[in-house]
Every structure is written in C-alpha cells, then in structure tokens.
C-alpha cells in the first residue's frame, strides 16, 4: 500500500503565483527590447528558423511564442490535480508528491522556456529552452530506473540534479552535446523507451523487445539503423540508448495501464515531431505570415502529450509503500 500524504498544501496557488511572477519578468525584461540576437537567429523581417517571420514587436515569433501557453495550462491542471490528491489524502503520482511536483513543474517550465527562445531570439532564451526540455524528459527514464533498481527518492533526485546541472553548464560553456557530441534529449527518448519496456517485461524477453523497439524507433525518426550497425565504430553514441538492456538484476513492482492515456501521449508526441518538420523554412507548406504555424501546433501537441503521460502515470499501481 502507498503511504498517504499528510500535507494539505495548496500547490496550485503557488503555481499560479509562479506563473504570474514569470509573466512579470517577461514584461520587465522585454520592455526595453531583448538585446542582441543569438548568432544563429535571423534579422527582423526575415523568416525565422521555425518558418514564422521575425517581428519587431514584443515577441520575435508571436504565434510560435504564444503557442507555448499550452504547456502552462497543462502544468496548472497538474498542480490542481496534485493539490486535490494532497487535500483528499489520495495516492500521489509516481507514488511521491515530491516527484509529482517535479513533473508538474517541468511540464509548466516547458512553456516559459520555449517562449524565451521564440520570443527573444537571444542566446539565453535558447539556453533556457533546451534546459526546460531536458528537465522534462529526464524524469521518465530516471523514474523507470528508480523502479527497476528499487532506488530511493534521494538517489533519484541526486541523479536528476547532477544530470540537469551538468547539461545546463555544458550547453552554456561547451556545446549542446555535453561536450562529447551526445544529444541528451534524443538519448533520453531512447532510454525512456527501453526502460518503459523493461518495466512491463523485466526479463530476457523484455530486453530483446526493448532492443528491437529502440532500433525501429530510431529508423522511424530518420536514422539509418543498418548503416549504424555497419559503422558501429563511428556511431557508438547512438547505441547508448540500449544501456538499460544490459543492467543486471532488474525488477518491476508496478503495474501500468497504457490505454488510453499512454497511447494518446505517444501518438501526440510522434505527430508533433512530424508536424515540426513542416514548420521549417525549406518546407513548401511554410507560410511565414500565417497565424497558424506548424511549430505552434508542435507546441500544443507536446502539451497534450505531457498531460496524457500525467494521466497515464496517475493510474500506476504499486505493491510498495510510497515516499513523500
């Protein structure tokens, strides 16, 4: 049985205050202009990297920027649900209010993080955008590893903090590849997939299924798997996705119901990636002056995915007591 929370904290109110404070910071810092644009951004009047024409107004990409409000709405809904769970003494998401609050915070952070990039076109905005994405995607595979190896909440948070801190440092001072050419976001997707399968099948069959599934997903996302295998000495980084398959002595004490929310989340996420490609300046469907931008839809579909995975994990059943 999971341990009931004794907290009666109104997390939703704190989240609202944080959103208001963040909006206020945007107004304050943007009032006199955002400062010099990053080197990879386009000048005002030109077409941005994400199809929308660069504006001289408050936001450089108004449509793509405001599309991120979907993350804020989704995150606030999560905080509301977590507050209800705490108030009514119900089992928390992830079996822990601390991890549940981390997930809601990271989901909400995706909004202002991406808004900073699309709205300001500054180097700091790009840094904040990428840090927000990593802060979200790390949770899934680290939480799965927590289950598979029966790790404590403390170990989970230390691992999460170290990885996120190093990524934030390396992106600003080194490069976006952790200094070794590894895309942590793409790697995290692979680690999430492989650990998710092992949660369901923590045995030899699960390891084989995880291997095949990760390779199929890599192919679906445009990676030539055959070429990777034939040139493994030059493409070893792509096989870091398979690390969980070789972790010994794994076990899963949770039961997850994948229908409908997990499948809605996966479909939304994959559809978002497909639509994201349409929002490129080189794509024939790119209309830089349209009020309907493909990249805005990418943001909204990703927001749908975050709340779908939230609902999915709420239905998780555990045989062990949870930690606060």
Residues 139-196: pLDDT tens digits? 999 999 999 999 999 999 999 999 999 999 999 999 988 988 899 999 999 999 999 9
Mean pLDDT of all residues in 24-28: 94
Rounded CA-CA distance 86/92 in Å is 7
Going by the DSSP 8-state scheme, the letter that residue 54 receives in this structure is P
**pLDDT attached to residue 320:** 60
Mean pLDDT of all residues in 291-304: 97
**pLDDT attached to residue 5:** 42
Share of residues in the chain with pLDDT > 70 (%): 96
Evaluate whether the domain defined by 47-318 bears CATH number 1.20.1070. yes
The band of 4, judged by pLDDT with boundaries at 50, 70 and 90, is: very low
Give this prediction's pTM: 0.92
**pLDDT attached to residue 217:** 87
**Cβ distance 39 to 122 under 8 Å?**
no
- The full set of domain ranges for the chain reads 47-318
CB atoms within 10 A of CB 38: 14
Question: 318 pairs with which residues across the strands?
Answer: 254
**Cβ distance 235 to 214 under 8 Å?**
no
Res 260 pLDDT > 70: yes
Res 2 pLDDT > 70: no
Residues in the chain: 324
Handedness of CA 178, 235, 273, 121 (dihedral sign): positive
What b/e string do you get for 273-308 counting C-beta neighbours within 10 Å, with b at 16 or more? eebbebbeeeeeebeeeeeebbbbbbbbbbbbbbbb
């Amino acid at each position: 049985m999971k341990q009931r929370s004794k907290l009666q904290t109104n997390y939703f109110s704190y989240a609202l205050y944080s959103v208001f404070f963040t909006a206020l910071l945007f107004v304050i810092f943007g009032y006199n202009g955002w400062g010099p644009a990053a080197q990879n951004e386009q000048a005002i009047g030109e077409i941005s990297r994400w199809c929308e024409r660069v504006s001289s107004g408050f936001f450089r990409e108004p449509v793509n920027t405001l599309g991120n409000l979907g993350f804020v709405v989704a995150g606030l809904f999560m905080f509301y649900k977590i507050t209800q769970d705490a108030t009514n003494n119900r089992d928390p998401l992830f079996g822990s209010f601390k991890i549940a609050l981390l997930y809601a915070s990271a989901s909400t952070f995706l909004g202002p993080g991406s808004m900073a990039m699309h709205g300001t076109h500054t180097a700091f905005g790009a840094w904040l955008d990428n840090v927000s994405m990593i802060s979200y995607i790390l949770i899934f595979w680290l939480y799965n590893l927590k289950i598979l190896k029966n790790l404590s909440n403390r170990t989970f948070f230390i691992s999460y903090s170290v990885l996120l801190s190093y990524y934030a440092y390396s992106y600003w001072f080194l490069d976006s590849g952790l200094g070794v050419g590894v895309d942590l976001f793409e790697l995290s997707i692979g680690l999430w997939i492989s650990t998710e399968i092992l949660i369901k099948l923590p045995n030899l069959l699960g390891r084989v299924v995880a291997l095949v599934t990760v390779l199929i997903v890599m192919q679906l996302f445009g990676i030539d798997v055959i070429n990777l295998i034939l040139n493994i000495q030059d493409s070893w980084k792509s096989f870091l996705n398979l690390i969980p398959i070789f972790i010994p002595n794994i076990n899963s004490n949770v039961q997850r119901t994948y229908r409908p929310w997990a499948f809605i989340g996966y479909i939304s996420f994959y559809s978002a990636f497909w639509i994201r490609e349409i929002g490129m300046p080189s794509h024939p469907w790119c209309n830089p002056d349209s009020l309907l931008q493909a990249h805005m839809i990418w943001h909204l579909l990703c927001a749908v995915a975050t709340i779908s995975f939230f609902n999915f994990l709420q239905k998780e059943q555990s045989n062990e007591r949870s930690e606060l």
